[in-house]
Amino acid sequence: MPLKPGLSKFFAVAFVILTVSSIAGMISLIAVFKIQLAGWNATSPIPTTTTTLSPPPIMRLPRNLIPESYNIFIKVELYTRIVEVVNVTTPNQTLSFSGNSTVNFHCAEQTRHIYLHSRDLRIFNLSVTNKSMGNSISINSYTSYKDETDFLKIELINTLLAGKNYSLFLAFQGELSENLNTLYVSKYTETDRSSENETTVERFLAATNLEPTNARSLFPCFDEPDMKARFKLTVIHRRETTALSNGDGQGPFLIGGDDDEWQYTVFEESPKMSSYLFAFTVSEFTSLKTPVGDVLSIQVFARPEATAAGHTKYAFDVTKKILNFYEKHFDLKYTPKKLYQIALPDLEPLAMENWGLITYQEGALLYEEGVSSWLHKEDIVSIIAHELAHQWFGNMVTMKWWNDLWLNEGFSSYMSYFAVDSVEPTFQIKDTLIMGVLHAAFEEDALASSRPLSAPVEEIQTAFDIHGMFDAITYCKGAIVLRMLADIVGEEDFNNGIRAYLKAFNGRNAEQSDFWKFIEHAKHKKSFFNVESFMNEWTTQAGYPVVTINTTNGETYQKRFFYNSSAHSDSLWLIPIQYMTAIAPPDFHWLDRRGPVKIAKFISKKGEWILANINSTGYYRVNYNPENWHRLLTQLEADLDRIPLMNRGQLIDDAFNLARAKQVNVTLALNLTRFLRNETAYLPWESTVRNLEYFIHMFDRSEVYGPMQVYLREQVKGLYNFLKNHTDNSTVPQDHSLQHNQILAIEVACSNGLPECIAMVKEKFADWMTSNSTKTNNIHTNLRSVIYCQAVAAGGKEEWEFAWEKFLESSDTSEKDQLRKALSCTKKTWLLNRYLEYTLDPNKIRLMDVASTINYIAENAAGQALAWNFIRAHWKYVSQGDPYTLLEGVTSRFSTKFELSELMYFVTNSEPMPPGNGAIEQTQVNIKWVGENKDVILQWFKRETAEME
């Protein structure tokens, strides 16, 4: 299956933020997307003895048999270490597993067929027993469907009777995946101090990753989220390894007899849960844990070296606090007796909320004091808060089917903002998190191809359909529409509704209509509006509206917002409009028609401005008549504090996006950046830098760039100076949003040539070079990434070679990633060429880092053409990673007919064929955009900067 292009990009973005905490700092829970990059529909490793039949008309299991509990034995053959001992034959690594399971089920409707799921497994020794009589029921035949149903159909001689209980026993065999699916093998290295000279040795572990439909590849089961059951597991594993699972483990016990190779661990039965939440690991990991005897045992597992070095401490500390917060907030205890979290060297997604055993990528859980950026804590606390919210939303109360995945993901994302704010109040990142999520949703949902948040059940059938639900709509739009609902009914009523809903559905499955009922019941503003009919408009229609207000006559209308100005839709929403004016306190209005309708309250009095959608609590954009835009601009330049912070960021984002959709002039958007001269808050700056990125790509090789740099340099001076004392002394402000802004200020100031910024980065980097040891690197961990890059950009051969040396020396992942990025920042083409050549040598740049390294180089205007020539010359090698992202990155500046023809030639004449459709389409859009906008933008920057230099 090809990658889903847009999604792999999201993943890349999230990863960069995790490892580098880079400039844009769009810390967002996009990070938690369960995006699988490859291989989830891999073909069966073991041929089954049965044949392929045509699938039944529906892809869903019949509901005549209801599972109640499983008793599962799994033997994992994997060695965690392959010990080299002189003259002893080394065992070969074995990637197989085997086991057996008994599933007890209730018959609701008589049948002679048992349907359940099984994929890529060899199955044998089947038997069916009538539980009350104890007699066995003969099996006529069984069939594994080798199609998208993944059904295992068992045909019986006799009929199973309604109201009776039965059990099915079977044995199975399968293979560990090397692509992070189902039960997979993961590798890492460890320092071996046992010999005289320290060496690094390879270690292995096995872990599961079952969401959404991989449980069926581990053992045959009723693998649908509403087929909840209790799971009891026994793992048989090798000596000196530890097995963890959802329940509390007893053991390990020796098998007994002469067998000292194997031991087993018995886990207590899980609560009733969906199969995708089943999990276990076998590893040599160690943990940081609460004292024995605590009511709830909390442990954080990691590589023994990471645990010993204290890298799990931050995660451990916030986990307890977040759990307490949720227990109070939901008024419902976390049910299991233990909560284990484990940092895995390999995992896709970033984290998975398995009940009682949450798995994380290392970057999402491990924090290194003195090495990690302080901002990295934001990623960790946000991801933990999201996964812990799932212990309620997802684990206790689960969506009935994957079409309503947002009941898991949108809710967990939304709840996490409050948890983060409660346990790390000094971070002050709630607004930043929310804006990040809002903009991710806006971006995705403006495409004509977007889908409704709650998809029609019949459209979500195959594993492919289900995977498609893990996207920005589910995670981001889901969270944002909940925020809108909470705002209208009021936080308190909303939270009461949530509590009642959780209690009522604990252990069960829900649909969105169930949730609306509880909010309806909890809300005091009874006749105000109907929750269900209001929310259905936002969850069952794709897209979102733009509300256009003419403040001269009060005429207001709504229409769906599309980037493509020729797209059309008849969608209609009930839109809550909170608004304020320069002279009157905030007020409220429902827009329930398409319009235009005359709304007297929106008529400007005495030439004052009106601002709609206060704090962006509504999921829509706002456009105004030019006069009102002008008044808002004037207000922002005169006294920006009169406009709420979130709106200052949103006005900029709306204006740039309305310009993109051709609903306002691009000069209006640029005019809105004028007030930044006096702005020190992060959100408006973040919004501007993100939106200007496209302008920079289109123009940084043209005559527009000169005046544009002058303009940005002038705009950022105030912000740079505001933080200068901190920056010069290598300290950072208390407030995290200002910490983000400090990085942004250095980035914008230095890259646009502010002399004091360039002097500062050169000096700090030179200090490090003279001290010549990482131990005396005095650059604050927050600022390393940006200072390394800017110092290499401002420097020459010496700085570059020092960075290269440090890159080779460092064993710390985040330091290495920062340096790898910094090396791409030099302006010297001969160094960039040398760096490109290094990407062909896996001893210098690992294969998995090749695409991102080339993209870093292409991101540099001086490296763009070199990178384009380079990937064409070495396509076979460089396309091994993620060719889509690579091509998209390297061609992101393409905006001429000549570049388009080069690209088309390359795409049609290369082997393997480049996935170029996206890049071609984007180039065509760019050509058109530059043609339409270049002159007016050039004139605008020239006019703005006429008096500056």
Residues designated as active site:
387
Alpha-carbon Rg for the chain, nearest whole angstrom, is: 29
Stretch that binds ligand NAG, among 88-96, 222-230, 657-665, 713-721 (CB under 6 A): 88-96
Cβ–Cβ < 8 Å for 220, 118:
yes
Nearest to 709 by CA among 724, 721, 722, 692: 692
In the set 10, 70, 73, 330, which binds ligand NAG (CB under 6 A)? 73
What is the closest distance, in whole angstroms, from the C-beta atom of residue 83 to ligand NAG in the complex? Answer: 12
Report the C-alpha gap between 256 and 444 in whole angstroms.
58
Cα pseudo-dihedral 534, 536, 538, 539, rounded to 10: 150
What is the closest distance, in whole angstroms, from the C-beta atom of residue 436 to Zn ion in the complex? Answer: 16
Nearest to 519 by CA among 538, 501, 542, 540: 501
Say how many residues make up the chain: 949
Q: Report the alpha-carbon angle 173-175-180, nearest 5.
A: 140
Report the C-alpha gap between 622 and 635 in whole angstroms.
17
Could you tell which of ligand NAG, Zn ion, none binds residue 92, using a CB distance below 5 to 8 A set by kind?
A: ligand NAG
In the set 36, 245, 550, 879, which binds ligand NAG (CB under 6 A)? 550
The kind and range of the H/E element at 854 are helix 847-859
What is the closest distance, in whole angstroms, from the C-beta atom of residue 668 to ligand NAG in the complex? Answer: 12
What is the closest distance, in whole angstroms, from the C-beta atom of residue 409 to Zn ion in the complex? Answer: 5
Report the C-alpha gap between 888 and 302 in whole angstroms.
36
User: In a 3-state reduction of DSSP, which class is residue 495?
Assistant: helix
Could you tell which of Zn ion, ligand NAG, none binds residue 550, using a CB distance below 5 to 8 A set by kind?
A: ligand NAG
What is the closest distance, in whole angstroms, from the C-beta atom of residue 34 to Zn ion in the complex? Answer: 7
User: In a 3-state reduction of DSSP, which class is residue 856?
Assistant: helix
Query: Three-state SS string across 51-63, please?
Result: CCCCCCCCCCCCC
Could you tell which of Zn ion, ligand NAG, none binds residue 86, using a CB distance below 5 to 8 A set by kind?
A: ligand NAG
Could you tell which of Zn ion, ligand NAG, none binds residue 233, using a CB distance below 5 to 8 A set by kind?
A: none
Stretch that binds ligand NAG, among 12-20, 89-97, 133-141, 890-898 (CB under 6 A): 89-97
Q: Is 390 labeled as ligand-binding?
A: yes
Beta bridge partners of 299: 289, 340
| 689 burial type by CB count under 10 A (0-12 exposed, 13-18 middle, 19+ buried) | buried
Could you tell which of ligand NAG, Zn ion, none binds residue 89, using a CB distance below 5 to 8 A set by kind?
A: ligand NAG
Beta bridge partners of 107: 65
Report the C-alpha gap between 223 and 214 in whole angstroms.
8
In the set 625, 665, 721, 813, which binds ligand NAG (CB under 6 A)? 625
In the set 57, 83, 196, 292, which binds ligand NAG (CB under 6 A)? 196
Is residue 89 a contact residue for ligand NAG (CB under 6 A)?
Answer: yes
Classify the phi-psi angles of 139: left when phi > 0, otherwise alpha if psi is within -120 to 50, otherwise beta.
Answer: beta
What is the closest distance, in whole angstroms, from the C-beta atom of residue 628 to ligand NAG in the complex? Answer: 9
**39 vs 554 by CB, closer to ligand NAG:** 554
Contacts for 259 with CB less than 8 Å, ≥ 6 apart: none
In the set 43, 51, 87, 843, which binds ligand NAG (CB under 6 A)? 87
Nearest to 235 by CA among 278, 296, 187: 278
Is residue 552 a contact residue for ligand NAG (CB under 6 A)?
Answer: yes
What is the closest distance, in whole angstroms, from the C-beta atom of residue 199 to ligand NAG in the complex? Answer: 8
Beta bridge partners of 206: 185, 282
> Which residues ranging from 231 to 270 are in contact with ligand NAG (CB under 6 A)?
236
Could you tell which of Zn ion, ligand NAG, none binds residue 114, using a CB distance below 5 to 8 A set by kind?
A: none
Is residue 104 a contact residue for ligand NAG (CB under 6 A)?
Answer: no
Q: How many CB atoms within 10 Å of residue 9?
A: 18
Write the CA distances from 413 to 22, 406, 591, 937, integer angstroms. 22, 10, 28, 38
> Which residues ranging from 341 to 400 are in contact with Zn ion (CB under 5 A)?
none
DSSP single-letter state for residue 584: S
**136 vs 776 by CB, closer to ligand NAG:** 136
Report the C-alpha gap between 346 and 443 in whole angstroms.
30
Stretch that binds ligand NAG, among 490-498, 548-556, 774-782, 858-866 (CB under 6 A): 548-556
Report the C-alpha gap between 664 and 626 in whole angstroms.
9
Encoding tokens for residue 582?
Answer: 């320069």
In the set 54, 92, 449, 729, which binds ligand NAG (CB under 6 A)? 92
In the stretch 25-64, what mask flags binding to ligand NAG with x, by CB under 6 A? ----------------------------------------
Classify the phi-psi angles of 394: left when phi > 0, otherwise alpha if psi is within -120 to 50, otherwise beta.
Answer: left
Stretch that binds Zn ion, among 32-40, 52-60, 636-644, 825-833 (CB under 5 A): 32-40
DSSP string of 858-879, one letter each residue = HHSTTTHHHHHHHHHHTHHHHT
**86 vs 292 by CB, closer to ligand NAG:** 86
In the set 194, 197, 426, 566, which binds ligand NAG (CB under 6 A)? 197
Report the C-alpha gap between 144 and 124 in whole angstroms.
12
Stretch that binds ligand NAG, among 82-90, 208-216, 328-336, 774-782 (CB under 6 A): 82-90
For residue 675, the one-letter residue type is F
Tell me the site size for ligand NAG, rule CB under 6 A: 16
What is the closest distance, in whole angstroms, from the C-beta atom of residue 545 to ligand NAG in the complex? Answer: 17
What is the closest distance, in whole angstroms, from the C-beta atom of residue 173 to ligand NAG in the complex? Answer: 12
What is the closest distance, in whole angstroms, from the C-beta atom of residue 293 to ligand NAG in the complex? Answer: 32
**625 vs 810 by CB, closer to ligand NAG:** 625
Stretch that binds ligand NAG, among 192-200, 432-440, 567-575, 689-697 (CB under 6 A): 192-200
Nearest to 825 by CA among 887, 891, 755, 765: 765
Report the C-alpha gap between 840 and 858 in whole angstroms.
16
Stretch that binds ligand NAG, among 87-95, 186-194, 471-479, 721-729 (CB under 6 A): 87-95
DSSP single-letter state for residue 474: I
Could you tell which of Zn ion, ligand NAG, none binds residue 194, using a CB distance below 5 to 8 A set by kind?
A: none
In the set 100, 130, 179, 880, which binds ligand NAG (CB under 6 A)? 100
Going by the annotation, the residues of the binding site for Zn(2+) are: 386, 390, 409
Residues at the site binding Zn ion, with contacts judged by CB under 5 A: 32, 409, 412
By the criterion CB under 6 A, which residues form the site for ligand NAG?
73, 75, 86-87, 89, 91-92, 100, 195-197, 236, 550, 552-553, 625
Residue positions forming the annotated binding site: 386, 390, 409
